[in-house]
Amino acid sequence: MYRCDTKSMEDKIKTFSKFGDAGHGGITRYALSEEDKMARAEWLRRMGAIGATIEMDDLANMYATLPGSEPGLKRIVMGSHCDSVKNGGNYDGILGVMSAMEVLETVVRENIPHRHPLTAMIFTNEEGSEFPPCMMCSGTMAHDYMPERFRDNFEYSKMMASKSILTPDVTFGERLAAFPYKGDKANRMSPEKYMALFETHIEQGPILEDAGKDIGVVTCVLGQMLYRVKFYGFAAHAGTFPMKKRHDAFHAAAEALCYLHEEIDKLGYEDLVYTTGEVVIHPCVNTVIPDFFDFSIDVRHENPEVLNKVREILFSLEKREWQKCKCEVVLGWNRDTVYWDKKLVGYVREAVEELGISHMDINSGAGHDAQYISYMIPTTMIFAPSDKGLSHCEVEHTSVEQCTNAATVMLNAVLKADKDQ
């Protein structure tokens, strides 16, 4: 069994944490930003130093490849994203990039034989922080391979027309055209050239830490559905209109949200998670009774039957009156549970067991680039623990030893795939 180097991983963590340093221990590094350019330049420098062949595709995904010993075999690729949310941490996404780099560096340093070409990569715009949607470029690459009902979400022209949330007159396509790492469409990942994808990531939750495990053998990404729940009342003066005569959309939404929590919790599924994270209110003036309120509800679970039960509860809201207001439930989007390739999951499990690192099977509640790539080629993931389960925040942390363990597991799992296929 081979092991990656802890000091090398520590150096990468310290170095990449400088690109977009927000001044409070975390980073803000939006896709195609100046900070993104700096991170990619460092990646390019390090991958060039080990003699890897560098390619870039038309979406600015970047690939660094070491040739294998048997010409004509497909590539095994490892990677993740280097963009972040606003005031995010130093591990989300970038750990997968650093782990892939570490694998290639270890292969060169230890002169490890391998049949297949081995590729480290960077996915563009996983977070969608400035240019929505999230997982934009992995979804675009996998567009032709995913179920037809999802394809419209990642249609190329729509992605290029996505507007910046910071400067709405700028589109993703315009920013991409000026980006120095934009390459050729012919360099995109494809089933014709690639055999499998391994993605290492932080868990972004507390399950591994609570269980005292150092590695999560990921089996799937949970199914998800996003709905908007809208309430329509009418506006009136806050100081003169009697309480009993009001059609207060905000009050209606608050009452309905409490009802949702009560009814969904009655289902009794402890592994079911749901979140209201976005609201819209009109006119949003302290002297006016709100005539419109809209909240999101994001629901995630592995079993589609459980999601259907929640869906029934959601649509039951339309059949009731809420503070004399009309309710409308509208689908935002949904995705199926995506199961990782069983053979690749097996390689990960074998590797971590042989290395003697504590581990457990786990699913992913968060979405990842790997879930869309799985429609195109066999895919799997490896999780490292998140301190206190925190992620998408500046205190996000995973120890250097745990990061190195994850890279080590990926290295040995990749070598198993290389020998067996």
In this structure, which amino acid lies at residue 354? E
DSSP string across 305-350: HHHHHHHHHHHHGGGS-BTTBEEEEEEEEEE--EEPPHHHHHHHHH
Per-residue model confidence (pLDDT) at position 363: 96
Confidence of residue 420 (pLDDT cuts 50, 70, 90): confident
- pLDDT tens digits for 196-250? 999 999 999 999 999 999 999 999 999 999 999 999 999 999 999 999 999 999 9
Q: Is 300 helix (H, G, I), strand (E, B) or coil?
A: strand
pLDDT at 421 over 80: no
Please give the mean pLDDT across all residues of the chain.
97
Distance between CA atoms of residues 203 and 196, nearest Å: 21
According to DSSP, residue 80 is labeled E
Query: What confidence score (pLDDT) does residue 333 get?
Result: 86
User: What is the tens place of the pLDDT at every residue in 9-55?
Assistant: 999 999 999 999 988 889 999 999 999 999 999 999 999 999 999 99
On whether the CB atoms of residues 373 and 204 are closer than 8 A, the answer is no
Whether residue 255 is predicted with pLDDT greater than 80 in this model: the reply is: yes
The top-level CATH class assigned to 223-335 is: alpha beta
Q: Which amino acid is at 396?
A: E
Instruction: Cite the beta strand spans of 213-341 per DSSP E.
Output: 215-221, 223-232, 273-275, 279-282, 292-301, 326-335, 338-339
Q: What pLDDT shows up at residue 164?
A: 97
What residue has token string 């079911």? 272
Residue 21's DSSP bridge partners are 27
Where do the domains of the chain lie?
6-222+337-420, 223-335
In angstroms, the Cα distances linking 136 to 2, 59, 187, 288 are: 34, 9, 17, 39
How many angstroms separate the Cα of 112 from the Cα of each of 30, 73, 116, 384, 411? 35, 17, 12, 24, 10
Task: Name the residue type at position 135.
Answer: M
Q: Which CATH superfamily is domain 6-222+337-420 in?
A: Zn peptidases (3.40.630.10)
Residue pLDDT, tens place only, 301-334: 999 999 999 999 999 999 999 999 999 999 998 8
- Pairing of the two strands 194-202 and 379-384: parallel
Q: Is pLDDT at 336 greater than 80 in this prediction?
A: yes
Distance CA 17, CA 29 (A): 10
